[in-house]
C-alpha cells in the first residue's frame, strides 16, 4: 500500500502555512508559507488607535491557492508521490478572529462596498478596540449569568468574539447591519473549502465557541438571546444565526469541493476537518495527553492542558477557558496564555532597535543575555506590554521595567524581558496546580522554543522542572495534519483516534532542558518580587508594601557579583 499524506493549513498572525505530512511516520514532506499582503506584516493597523488589528479575508483564500499547490509541487519531486495520496486536510487559525459575512456566508469584505472598510475585515485576536465592551460584558454577565464567567476566567476579554461584535455594532453600525452573521476564521476556512459556508450548513467548532463565545453544552450552547439583548438589542439578531450544536476536530466540516480540488490539484471529496485554534492543534502536534502542559510560544503564548471529563473539575479562576472537547474528544480542554511573549522581544528589537550591544538583533542580544547570571542585572520586568491574559484577564495592563541604572545594557534588558515571560508562565503553572491540575510534563513548541536554547533554559530554571521541546517546528500545522488523519479514518489510511495518531505522528526532541538548582534558587527570589509587582499593579485593593522590591533586587544583584 502506498504512503498516505494529510495537509495541515496553519493560519498565523502574519502568514498562512501549508504542511504536507506522512500519516504513518509524521515526516514533514513539504511546507510553504504565504505572507498576507495587506497592512503591515499582514495586519491592517490604524495609526490613531493602537488597539486596532484587522486582516483581509481575501489574504486567507489567496493563501490556500498559493501554499497547497506549492507543497504538492515540492513533494512531486519525490519518487512515487502523487497528489491523490493526500487523504484529508486539517485547519487551524488564530482566534478569536471573527469576520462578518453576508447571508450566503461570504465575507462582507468581498463586497466592493466594504472592500476597504476595516470593520468589515477579520477582527484579529489581538484587536483590542472592544476593551470597553469586554468590561461591559463582564459586568452584565456578572449580574445576569455568573456561570458564563466561571468558565472563562471570571472576566470576558477584548480579544474575544462578543467584545468585537458589540464594538462593531457601536462604532460601525452599517457594517454591523450588513452582516448576516459573524464567523470565526477557524470555521470560515473549512467551510469555504467544503462549500458549506452558507449559515444553514456551516459547522462551528466547540474550540472557538466554547473558549471565546461563552458557548457550553451546560447551558445549551451560545449565550442566550435575553442576555445578549441586555447588552445590546441588535445582538439578538446575531444570536438567531448561531446553532445549538458545535463540533470538535474529530468531525469533518465536509468534503473538498470539485472547484477547490481543481484549483489546488487535489482529489475532490477528501474530508476537511472541523477547524480549531492554532494552540489547540499545536497541543495535539506536540502530543498532548493527561498531565502534559503544552506551551505554544510564539508572538504570544497559549498554554494547553486536557483533563478527563470522567472526573469532576473545579472552576479555575483566571483560566480563559475550560471547554469540553475543545482539544481532544472526551477531555476538557483547558486554555491559558500570555498576551505577548515573542512580541515583547520583537518590540525591543524592532521598535526600540537598541544598538548599544553590537547589532541589536535577537542573536546579538541573546549572546549578551546568556553571559549574565540570573539576578545579575538587577532588572525585573512585567510581561504585560499587550495586557495580561492569564491569570488576571486584563488587557488594560501595561509593561514595566524596574531596576534600571545608568549602566543597564540592552542585553540586560533583553534578558529581563525573557525572564518576565518565564515568570508569567510560572504564574499559570502555579494557578493550575493550586486547583489540582498537576503539571507532570512540560512540552514547549513554536519558533522560540525551537530556536532559542537560552529562553528554554530560563524557563526550566524559573519553572523548576524539565522542559521538553516538540520535535516538529510546525506543531500547529502538524496538529492540523494529525486531525486530518483522524477525520480521514483508518480505512482510508489515516488513524482510528487521536491517541494512535499522535503516537505515530508526533514526538519530542532528545535534548531536554534540566533546571539548574543554583539558578532555581535565585529565580525563586526574583519570582517573589515579580509576584509582588504582579499583584500590586494587577489586583485591585492589594495594598501590598512594595518598597522592598528595588532593594531586594540590588541585594540579589550584589550577591551574584560576590
Question: Could you tell me which stretch among 5-13, 112-120, 506-514, 534-542 binds its own copies (CB under 8 A)?
Answer: 534-542
In the complex, what is the shortest distance from the CB of residue 532 to its own copies, in angstroms, rounded to a whole number? 11
In the complex, what is the shortest distance from the CB of residue 522 to its own copies, in angstroms, rounded to a whole number? 18
Subset of 303-342 contacting its own copies (CB under 8 A): 340
Could you give the CA distance from residue 210 to residue 390 in angstroms, rounded to a whole number?
17
Subset of 162-221 contacting its own copies (CB under 8 A): none
Cβ proximity of 422 and 374 under 8 Å? no
In the complex, what is the shortest distance from the CB of residue 451 to its own copies, in angstroms, rounded to a whole number? 20
The three grid cell numbers given for residue 419, joined into one nine-digit string:
525572564
Q: What are phi and psi of 414, to 5 degrees?
A: -60, -45
Among 142, 195, 354, 453, binds its own copies (CB under 8 A): 354
- Residue 539 engages its own copies in binding (rule: CB under 8 A): yes
What SS3 class is residue 444? strand
Subset of 254-293 contacting its own copies (CB under 8 A): none
Could you give the CA distance from residue 23 to residue 501 in angstroms, rounded to a whole number?
8
What is the 8-class DSSP label of residue 156?
A: -
Among 12, 271, 403, 424, binds its own copies (CB under 8 A): 403
Question: Could you tell me which stretch among 45-53, 71-79, 470-478, 496-504 binds its own copies (CB under 8 A)?
Answer: 45-53
Among 355, 436, 514, 559, binds its own copies (CB under 8 A): 355
- Residue 559 engages its own copies in binding (rule: CB under 8 A): no
Kindly provide the residue ranges of all beta strands, DSSP E only, lying in 191-317, ordered along the sequence.
252-255, 271-273, 276-277, 292-297, 301-308
The burial class, CB within 10 Å (0-12 / 13-18 / 19+), for 143 is exposed
Residue with smaller CB distance to its own copies, 396 or 503: 396
- Residue 400 engages its own copies in binding (rule: CB under 8 A): yes
User: 296-316 burial, b for 16+ CB within 10 Å, e for fewer?
Assistant: bbbbbbbbbbbbeeeeeeeeb
Question: Could you tell me which stretch among 72-80, 433-441, 476-484, 548-556 binds its own copies (CB under 8 A)?
Answer: 548-556
In this structure, the strands spanning 49-55 and 252-255 are unpaired
Query: Please, what is the Cα angle at 364 between 418 and 460, to 5 degrees?
Result: 30
Could you give the CA distance from residue 485 to residue 23 in angstroms, rounded to a whole number?
6
Among 399, 447, 453, 489, binds its own copies (CB under 8 A): 399
Residue with smaller CB distance to its own copies, 22 or 129: 129
In the complex, what is the shortest distance from the CB of residue 349 to its own copies, in angstroms, rounded to a whole number? 9
Among 2, 147, 350, 559, binds its own copies (CB under 8 A): 350
The three grid cell numbers given for residue 226, joined into one nine-digit string:
435575553
Question: Could you tell me which stretch among 220-228, 326-334, 349-357, 505-513 binds its own copies (CB under 8 A)?
Answer: 349-357
Cell numbers 447571508: residue: 103
Cβ proximity of 54 and 44 under 8 Å? yes
Residue with smaller CB distance to its own copies, 105 or 403: 403
In the complex, what is the shortest distance from the CB of residue 113 to its own copies, in angstroms, rounded to a whole number? 28
- Residue 545 engages its own copies in binding (rule: CB under 8 A): yes
Question: Could you tell me which stretch among 76-84, 226-234, 239-247, 395-403 binds its own copies (CB under 8 A)?
Answer: 395-403
Crossing angle of helices 453-463 and 517-538, in 10° steps, is 80
Residue with smaller CB distance to its own copies, 135 or 224: 135
The three grid cell numbers given for residue 238, joined into one nine-digit string:
446575531
Count of residues of this chain found to bind its own copies when the rule CB under 8 A is applied? 55
Among 398, 436, 514, 559, binds its own copies (CB under 8 A): 398
Could you give the CA distance from residue 441 to residue 448 in angstroms, rounded to a whole number?
19
- Residue 544 engages its own copies in binding (rule: CB under 8 A): yes
- Residue 407 engages its own copies in binding (rule: CB under 8 A): yes
Among 208, 231, 302, 553, binds its own copies (CB under 8 A): 553
Compute CA 346 distance to the chain's CA centroid, rounded to the nearest angstrom.
17
- Residue 40 engages its own copies in binding (rule: CB under 8 A): no
Question: Could you tell me which stretch among 160-168, 196-204, 302-310, 402-410 binds its own copies (CB under 8 A)?
Answer: 402-410
Among residues 509, 471, 506, which one has the least CA distance to residue 23?
A: 506
Residue with smaller CB distance to its own copies, 103 or 539: 539
In the complex, what is the shortest distance from the CB of residue 153 to its own copies, in angstroms, rounded to a whole number? 18
Question: Could you tell me which stretch among 85-93, 255-263, 316-324, 391-399 binds its own copies (CB under 8 A)?
Answer: 391-399
Cβ proximity of 59 and 124 under 8 Å? no
What SS3 class is residue 243? coil
Q: What are phi and psi of 513, to 5 degrees?
A: -85, 120
Subset of 361-380 contacting its own copies (CB under 8 A): 378
Residue with smaller CB distance to its own copies, 126 or 426: 126
Could you give the CA distance from residue 184 to residue 11 in angstroms, rounded to a whole number?
12
Among 386, 390, 416, 427, binds its own copies (CB under 8 A): 386
Residue with smaller CB distance to its own copies, 289 or 354: 354
Residue with smaller CB distance to its own copies, 137 or 266: 137
Could you give the CA distance from residue 336 to residue 289 in angstroms, rounded to a whole number?
16
Could you give the CA distance from residue 220 to residue 242 in angstroms, rounded to a whole number?
12
Among residues 8, 19, 115, 104, which one has the least CA distance to residue 70?
A: 19
Among 219, 489, 550, 560, binds its own copies (CB under 8 A): 550
The burial class, CB within 10 Å (0-12 / 13-18 / 19+), for 25 is exposed
Which spans of this chain sit near its own copies (rule: CB under 8 A)? 48-50, 340, 343-344, 346-347, 350-356, 360, 378, 384-386, 396-410, 413, 536-551, 553-554, 561
Amino acid at each position: 500500500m502506498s504512503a498516505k499524506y494529510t495537509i495541515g493549513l496553519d493560519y498565523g498572525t502574519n502568514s498562512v502555512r501549508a504542511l504536507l505530512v506522512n500519516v504513518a511516520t509524521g515526516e514533514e514532506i513539504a511546507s510553504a508559507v504565504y505572507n498576507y499582503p495587506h497592512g503591515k506584516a499582514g495586519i491592517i493597523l490604524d495609526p490613531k488607535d493602537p488597539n486596532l488589528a484587522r486582516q483581509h479575508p481575501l489574504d486567507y483564500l489567496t493563501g490556500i491557492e498559493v501554499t497547497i499547490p506549492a507543497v504538492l509541487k515540492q513533494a512531486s519531486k519525490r519518487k512515487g508521490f502523487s497528489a491523490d495520496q493526500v487523504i484529508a486536510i486539517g485547519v487551524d487559525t488564530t482566534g478569536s478572529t471573527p469576520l462578518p459575512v453576508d447571508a450566503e456566508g461570504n465575507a462582507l469584505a468581498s463586497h466592493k462596498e466594504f472592500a476597504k472598510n476595516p470593520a468589515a475585515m477579520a477582527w484579529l485576536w489581538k484587536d483590542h478596540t472592544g476593551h470597553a465592551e469586554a468590561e461591559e460584558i463582564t459586568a452584565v454577565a456578572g449580574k445576569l449569568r455568573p456561570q458564563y464567567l466561571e468558565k472563562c476566567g471570571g472576566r470576558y476579554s477584548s480579544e474575544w468574539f462578543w467584545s468585537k461584535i458589540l464594538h462593531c455594532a457601536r462604532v460601525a453600525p452599517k457594517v454591523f447591519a450588513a452582516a448576516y452573521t459573524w464567523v470565526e476564521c477557524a470555521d470560515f476556512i473549512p467551510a469555504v473549502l467544503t462549500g458549506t459556508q452558507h449559515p444553514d450548513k456551516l459547522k462551528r467548532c466547540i474550540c472557538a465557541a466554547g473558549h471565546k463565545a461563552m458557548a457550553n453544552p451546560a447551558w445549551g450552547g451560545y449565550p442566550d438571546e435575553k442576555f445578549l439583548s441586555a447588552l445590546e438589542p441588535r445582538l439578538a439578531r446575531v444570536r438567531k444565526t448561531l446553532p445549538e450544536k458545535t463540533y470538535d476536530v474529530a468531525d469533518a466540516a465536509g468534503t473538498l469541493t470539485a472547484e477547490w480540488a481543481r484549483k489546488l490539484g487535489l482529489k475532490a471529496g477528501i474530508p476537511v476537518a472541523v477547524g480549531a485554534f492554532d494552540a489547540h492543534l499545536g497541543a495535539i502536534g506536540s502530543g498532548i495527553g493527561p498531565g502534559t502542559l503544552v506551551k505554544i510560544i510564539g508572538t504570544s503564548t497559549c498554554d494547553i492542558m486536557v483533563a478527563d471529563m470522567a472526573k469532576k473539575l473545579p472552576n479555575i479562576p483566571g483560566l480563559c477557558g475550560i471547554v469540553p472537547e475543545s482539544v481532544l474528544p472526551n477531555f476538557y480542554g483547558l486554555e491559558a496564555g500570555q498576551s505577548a511573549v515573542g512580541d515583547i522581544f520583537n518590540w525591543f528589537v524592532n521598535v526600540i532597535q537598541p544598538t548599544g550591544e553590537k547589532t541589536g538583533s535577537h542573536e546579538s542580544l541573546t549572546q549578551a543575555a546568556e553571559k549574565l547570571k540570573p539576578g545579575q542585572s538587577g532588572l525585573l520586568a512585567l510581561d504585560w506590554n499587550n495586557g495580561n491574559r492569564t491569570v488576571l484577564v486584563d488587557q488594560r495592563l501595561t509593561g514595566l521595567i524596574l531596576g534600571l541604572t545608568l549602566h543597564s545594557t540592552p542585553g540586560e534588558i533583553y534578558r529581563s524581558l525573557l525572564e518576565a515571560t518565564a515568570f508569567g508562565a510560572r504564574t499559570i503553572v502555579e494557578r493550575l496546580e493550586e486547583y489540582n491540575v498537576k503539571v507532570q510534563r512540560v512540552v514547549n513548541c513554536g519558533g522560540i522554543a525551537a530556536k532559542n536554547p537560552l529562553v528554554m533554559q530560563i524557563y526550566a530554571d524559573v519553572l523548576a522542572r524539565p522542559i521538553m521541546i516538540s520535535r516538529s517546528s510546525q506543531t500547529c500545522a502538524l496538529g492540523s495534519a494529525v486531525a486530518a488523519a483522524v477525520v480521514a479514518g483508518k480505512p482510508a489510511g489515516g488513524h482510528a483516534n487521536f491517541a494512535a495518531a499522535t503516537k505515530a505522528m508526533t514526538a519530542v526532541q532528545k535534548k531536554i532542558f534540566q533546571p539548574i538548582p543554583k539558578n532555581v534558587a535565585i529565580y525563586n527570589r526574583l519570582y517573589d518580587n515579580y509576584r509582588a509587582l504582579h499583584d500590586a499593579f494587577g489586583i485591585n485593593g492589594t495594598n501590598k508594601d512594595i518598597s522592598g522590591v528595588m532593594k531586594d533586587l540590588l541585594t540579589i544583584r550584589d550577591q551574584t557579583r560576590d
